[in-house]
């Protein structure tokens, strides 16, 4: 039976966790802080649970320099749950902005004598105006660069209707019908940022790293930058980034994003929690019966209360029973990085991630007669390295995987939807493990494996 040190796991998620964190977890599961009960057994309303949340937030704030303008939330439902939550919350924000603007305009007209009528008449006019704006102007922009962003756009279309979803980028159209590239920003068809008397899209979503297709955005898109003359609430794009698979692996300017979310099970912890970093000005009062009625009258969805970000924020992520053990694991992983890199913060991990990716890609590129990297070079993921063996020959790829397992290199099979080989290079994958994989790649290419 192999020991933990004998196996180097490159699965796409759930992913490896640092061994010291797991060793500490084994003790915490049995007897947390010498209380005679395990951490899975403590109340989520207890002081200990609140301390776990506070520690995890503090570690994440330190790593990414999360500014005071943003709130950190812990939820359940995974990244897929946030596909829905982003729509529920940000469409509601868009509607509320439009409602206030309509009310202000009509009240001005009423004061000037241009409008007359009772409150009921005013409400009816506001509703009529909103119905027209929802029909003609409500748009959600999606940059579809891989399987997960495609799923996100499909969920948005399911919730609000395909007519309101603007696929500003479909990377397959410029790559022979397959994912593996990101078209130049000059080709993106984003909803216009400025409209007479109105705002642009309710959100602009993209997946920062696509696990299935091995595509990663090299940096924050220039076309989504806030311009100097932008008003933060109306004109700047409401950028939503799914960072499930490259979270806390490189520097991120959190201030540029309205929302960052990610499932924990890649770089942060075990499956069970989702982390959301959301700009506080997008956390109005929770959905009320009146605002819910308005959304329904407009033909728009009202989300489950457990996905309502204002409600979760108001309750310190404890509106319902949060899996505190999962938050504790995430906090331990992030604190481990804080302690490891000190004042360098996430830059230390970024350097290690880049090193590990380079070790693998250099070997793949050196043997083009054997290996073909799937995505284009300028958008290659550091986290999910996708390639084919012998042009995708099924038998040779099967032999490659079998040989890798004999060396303790596991989890390398590509996603079932695309096949091939995928080496997921998450934070807890060690440099030693990557070096062993690189050596195996060399040996297999030379026929000496």
As annotated, the active-site residues are: 148, 242, 266
| Gap between the terminal Cα atoms of the chain | 22
Burial 355-377 (b: 16+ CB within 10 A, else e): ebbebbbebbeeeeebbbbbbee
Long-range contacts of 388-395 (CB under 8 A, 24+ apart): 388/420, 388/421, 389/420, 389/421, 389/444, 392/419, 392/420
Residue 403 CA to residue 275 CA, distance in Å, equals 37
Residue 165 CA to residue 188 CA, distance in Å, equals 14
390: left (phi over 0), alpha (psi -120 to 50) or beta: left
Give the residues across from 410 on adjacent strands.
9
CA 108, chain centre distance (Å): 42
Cis previous bond, 14, omega within 30: yes
Residue 265: CA count within 13 A, CB half-sphere: 14
């Amino acid at each position: 039976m192999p020991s933990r040190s004998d196996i180097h796991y490159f699965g796409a998620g759930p992913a490896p966790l640092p061994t010291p964190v797991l060793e500490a977890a084994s003790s915490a599961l049995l007897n947390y802080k010498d209380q005679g009960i395990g951490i899975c057994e403590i109340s989520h309303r207890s002081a200990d649970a609140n301390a776990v949340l506070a520690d995890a937030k503090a570690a994440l704030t330190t790593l990414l320099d999360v500014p005071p303008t943003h709130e950190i939330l812990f939820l359940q439902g995974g990244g897929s749950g946030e596909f829905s939550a982003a729509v529920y919350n940000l469409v509601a924000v868009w509607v509320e902005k439009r409602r206030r603007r309509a009310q202000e305009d009509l009240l001005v007209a009423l004061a000037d004598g241009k409008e007359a009528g009772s409150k009921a008449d005013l409400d009816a006019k506001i509703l009529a105006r909103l119905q027209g704006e929802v029909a003609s102007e409500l748009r959600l922009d999606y940059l579809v660069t891989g399987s997960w962003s495609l799923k996100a756009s499909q969920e948005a279309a399911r919730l609000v209707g395909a007519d309101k979803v603007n696929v500003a980028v479909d990377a397959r159209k410029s790559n022979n019908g397959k994912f593996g590239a990101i078209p130049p920003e000059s080709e993106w068809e984003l909803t216009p940022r400025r409209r007479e008397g109105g705002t642009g899209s309710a959100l602009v979503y993209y997946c920062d790293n696509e696990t299935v297709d091995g595509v990663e955005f090299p940096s924050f898109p220039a076309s989504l930058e806030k311009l100097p003359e932008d008003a933060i609430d109306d004109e700047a794009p409401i950028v939503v980034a799914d960072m499930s698979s490259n979270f806390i692996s490189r520097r991120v300017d959190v201030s540029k994003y309205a929302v960052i979310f990610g499932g924990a099970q890649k770089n942060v912890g075990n499956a069970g929690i989702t982390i959301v970093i959301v700009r506080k000005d997008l956390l109005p009062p929770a959905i009320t019966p009146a605002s819910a009625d308005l959304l329904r009258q407009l033909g728009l969805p009202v989300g489950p209360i457990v996905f309502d970000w204002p409600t979760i924020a108001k309750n310190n992520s404890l509106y319902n029973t949060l899996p505190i053990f999962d938050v504790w694991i995430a906090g331990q992983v992030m604190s481990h990085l804080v302690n490891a890199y000190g004042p360098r913060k996430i830059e230390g991990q970024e350097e290690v991630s880049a090193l590990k990716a380079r070790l693998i890609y250099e070997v793949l590129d050196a043997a083009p007669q054997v290996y073909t990297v799937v995505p284009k070079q300028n958008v290659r993921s550091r986290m999910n390295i996708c390639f084919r063996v012998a042009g995708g020959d099924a038998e040779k790829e099967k032999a490659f995987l079998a040989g890798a397992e004999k060396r303790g290199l596991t989890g390398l099979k590509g996603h079932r939807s695309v096949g091939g080989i995928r080496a997921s290079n998450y934070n807890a994958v060690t440099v030693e493990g990557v070096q062993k994989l690189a050596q195996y790649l060399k040996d297999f290419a030379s026929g000496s494996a």
